[in-house]
Amino acid sequence: MSNDILSHTEAGVTTITFNRLDKKNSITGAMYAEMADALATAAADDAVRVLVFQGHETIFSAGNDIADFLHNPPSSVDAPVFQFLRNLSGFPKPVLAAVCGPAVGIGTTMLFHCDLVYAGDNAAFSMPFVNLGLCPEAASSLLVPQMMGYHRAAEALLMGEPFMAEAALEVGLVNRVVPPTEATGIVMAQAKKLAAKPITALIATKRLMKQGQAALIQQQMNDEAEVFGRMLQAPAAKEAFGAFMEKRRPDFSKV
């Protein structure tokens, strides 16, 4: 593993940490591949009972690394980003997340596949796919309307503007809002409580809660991946990504 993703297991809890602060914990293909592997390993390892994602007190993740996406676009459903999402959405044991600061794009959509989410009061969730000339991923086009209701989902996904921790609490995306300094501690305490419970009961309960939608989520992810892959090569995304790299406002008037 590189230093950009840290993973360690202690007392039955595997913790995956975004550790790329200089680039706001944005995620490269290599990082997705590492996380996909870590999830597969943790799923198969009887010593692992619970999985935790965390970032930093100031930033959870700025989402896809835009430069990496430009140079190594995910060209098939086997791309690391989609492997990561498949392994996360199918992960059989409880998954928790501690989210502080911005959670952009997949930094937010991955949370729809976590079981418990604790947010710092500085957490800002956003899904600005449209602003980047893209479409939603991680089955968020299905799961966001389901959780938030259609109109709030349309605001989040069509406007792409951030919403804060309290709003996320209100719609049920997070379980509790706490001071950023406390988020990791609370998640670890909850993870330890879960790790002490019978793993067979945890796995069965999670599977039963999720099984009604599992095939639908997979289908939605595949459909999104196909559209997303095409849009990534299209003029709107090229303009948006070029503007980000050149630190200017995008001009969509010609696309």
Contacts to ligand COA by CB under 6 A: 23-24, 26, 62-67, 102, 104-105, 128, 132
- Cβ at position 165, least distance to ligand COA in Å: 15
Q: Tokens standing for 196?
A: 């002490």
Cα diameter, the chain: 58
Q: Tokens standing for 179?
A: 């001071």
Tell me the residue nearest to ligand COA as measured from the CB: 105
Those residues with Cβ within 8 angstroms of residue 26's Cβ, 6 or more apart along the chain or in another chain: 20, 61, 62, 63, 64, 65, 66, 68
Q: For the chain, how far is it from start to end, CA to CA, in angstroms?
A: 40
Those residues with Cβ within 8 angstroms of residue 46's Cβ, 6 or more apart along the chain or in another chain: 199
Q: What is the DSSP letter of 9?
A: E
Nearer to ligand COA, 209 or 255 (CB): 255
Nearer to ligand COA, 124 or 217 (CB): 124
- Cβ at position 169, least distance to ligand COA in Å: 21
Closest CA to 27 of 147, 112, 109, 89: 109
Nearer to ligand COA, 51 or 110 (CB): 110
Q: What is the 3-state secondary structure (H, E, C) of 226-251?
A: HHHHHHHCCHHHHHHHHHHHCCCCCC
- Cβ at position 98, least distance to ligand COA in Å: 17
Nearer to ligand COA, 62 or 186 (CB): 62
Amino acid residing at 110: M
Element (H, E) at 176: strand 176-178
Nearer to ligand COA, 50 or 139 (CB): 139
- Cβ at position 81, least distance to ligand COA in Å: 10
- Cβ at position 66, least distance to ligand COA in Å: 4
The rounded radius of gyration (Å) of the Cα atoms in the chain is: 17
Tokens 């996904």 map to which residue? 157
Nearer to ligand COA, 45 or 155 (CB): 155
- Cβ at position 230, least distance to ligand COA in Å: 16
